[in-house]
Amino acid sequence: MTGVWIAVLVTAGGCYALKLAGLTVPQRVLANQRVRRFAELVPVALLAALAAVQSMTSGQSIDLDPARLAGMAAAVVALLLRAPFLVVIIAAAATAAALRAFGVG
Amino acid sequence: MPANMTGTVARPVRDGVGLGLAVGVSGVAFGAAAVSAGLSTWQACALSLFAFTGASQFALVGVIATGGSLLAGSAGAILLGSRNTLYGLRLADVLHPSGPGRLLVALGVIDETTAIALAQPDPPAARKGFAATFAVLYMTWNLSTLAGAVGAGKIGSPQAFGLDVVGPAAFLALIWPRLKAGRTERTVALGGVAVALGLTPLLPVGVPVILAATAAVAGALWESR
């Protein structure tokens, strides 16, 4: 149990330090056009990767769960129809939940 | 209220509150997963209070659940949190935090707050969006972690409510405007997806997402040829 507490506190401290480091790094780092563009593109790359990993994998394997994929497809349709943010989320969750209620996925 | 105020102030707050509530409730899934993995309720709550970065929290709990080493679990979780450093670098340019306030702002530097803040047209709207998202998501995430930890085993599967799709759908919705902004953005997003999915079978959970940042490196270098 003590070991787990150490892991919890080390993880929390490490995660916080990494966040603070980003805010503390001198702004002149961003003066370089290439670094600035990199910082702009990083969230695009990571959020796209997170969306893909969280919807198409499970652990270390590719896992194409039909209900989850249908939920993501519903989100894309809602986005194409210019639905507000919350409607997109609800459409995704409701689609996955409905399919599972009918035994899919 | 003048139209421009609705546009620059009310919308980031509304979006932030909506996202905070929608994503925050998935703390139930984290609390339940943590206790199922063998953590105490207080350990689950400590992670949500002080680490406050969902992917890292799930990564640590996932390793503990499968009996992996605590060192590997912590290292993987912290590595996954390194993207927040890059977010912070970008956010500092918009939020300009200073003094002791920076210590609080730092806690709130995560995927969702960054996405909302950077989606705003100007710095004041970005600050409102960041603050609203952080406040609501922090409260919701921590309360739902507690509820999930206490209620683990008593509630049905979060999947039955489609809650496992909330995160990825939110991330997609948040980058959507930027996917429409330019071809580099779309290429970088697809590159990030390809890197992350391609490396998933080969590397520990969490690492492929971090390496997706190489797509952003490639995009920035390609543009400045």
Report domain extents, chain A. 1-28, 29-101
A58 in the Ramachandran plot: left (φ > 0), alpha (ψ -120 to 50) or beta? beta
d(CA B221, CA B224): 5
- A4, A5, A15: which to substitute to probe chain B, counting the most B Cβ within 10 Å? A15
Residues 6+ apart with CB under 8 A from B70: A3, A4, A6, A7, B63, B64
Q: Which residues of B touch A12 (CB under 8 A)?
A: 46-47, 49-51
Q: Residue count of chain A, please give it.
A: 105
Cα nearest neighbour of B96 on chain A: A23
Cα nearest neighbour of B91 on chain A: A23
Q: Cα A26 vs. chain centroid, distance in angstroms?
A: 27
Sequence-ordered alpha helix ranges (H) in B81-212: 83-95, 101-107, 111-118, 123-151, 166-179, 183-199, 207-211
B55 shares contact with chain A (CB less than 8 Å): yes
| Chains A & B: contacts with CB separation below 8 Å | 303
pLDDT greater at residue B78 or residue B145: B145
Q: Which residues of B touch A40 (CB under 8 A)?
A: 90
By Cβ distance, the residue of A1, A16, A53 closest to B200 is A53
By Cβ distance, the residue of A14, A60, A76 closest to B205 is A60
CA torsion sign for A30, B7, B105, A47 is negative
- A6, A27, A35, A41: which to substitute to probe chain B, counting the most B Cβ within 10 Å? A41
In this prediction, residue A89 carries a pLDDT of: 83
**Predicted confidence (pLDDT) at residue B129 exceeds the cutoff of 80:** yes
Q: Cα B165 vs. chain centroid, distance in angstroms?
A: 14
**CB contact (8 A) between residue A54 and residue B173:** no
In this prediction, residue B158 carries a pLDDT of: 65
Range of weakest confidence among B5-9, B74-78, B214-218: B5-9
pLDDT greater at residue B188 or residue B33: B188
- Kindly provide the ipTM of the predicted complex, given to two decimals: 0.84
- Report, as an integer, the average pLDDT of B150-171: 75
Q: What is the 3-state secondary structure (H, E, C) of A32-85?
A: CHHHHHHHHHHHHHHHHHHHHHHHHEECCEECCCHHHHHHHHHHHHHHHCCCCH
- List pLDDT tens digits, range A47-63: 899 889 889 988 889 99
**CB contact (8 A) between residue B56 and residue A15:** yes
Q: How far is CA B94 from CA A6, A38, B9, B82, B219, in A?
A: 35, 16, 15, 20, 22
Classify B55 as helix, strand or coil.
helix
d(CA A66, CA A103): 11
pLDDT greater at residue B111 or residue A31: B111
**Predicted confidence (pLDDT) at residue B186 exceeds the cutoff of 50:** yes
Best CA proximity match to B133, nearest among B49, B56, B24, B54: B24
B116 shares contact with chain A (CB less than 8 Å): no
**Predicted confidence (pLDDT) at residue A74 exceeds the cutoff of 60:** yes
**Predicted confidence (pLDDT) at residue B23 exceeds the cutoff of 90:** no
Q: Which range in B16-25, B76-85, B105-114 is most confidently predicted, on average pLDDT?
A: B105-114
**Predicted confidence (pLDDT) at residue A38 exceeds the cutoff of 90:** no
pLDDT greater at residue B196 or residue B98: B196
pLDDT greater at residue B130 or residue B26: B130
Query: Which amino acid is residue B100, in one-letter code?
Result: P
Contact B146, B31 (CB under 8 A): yes
- List pLDDT tens digits, range B197-218: 999 999 887 778 888 889 999 9
**Predicted confidence (pLDDT) at residue B2 exceeds the cutoff of 50:** no
Best CA proximity match to B209, nearest among B71, B34, B79: B79
In this prediction, residue B154 carries a pLDDT of: 66
In this prediction, residue B156 carries a pLDDT of: 59
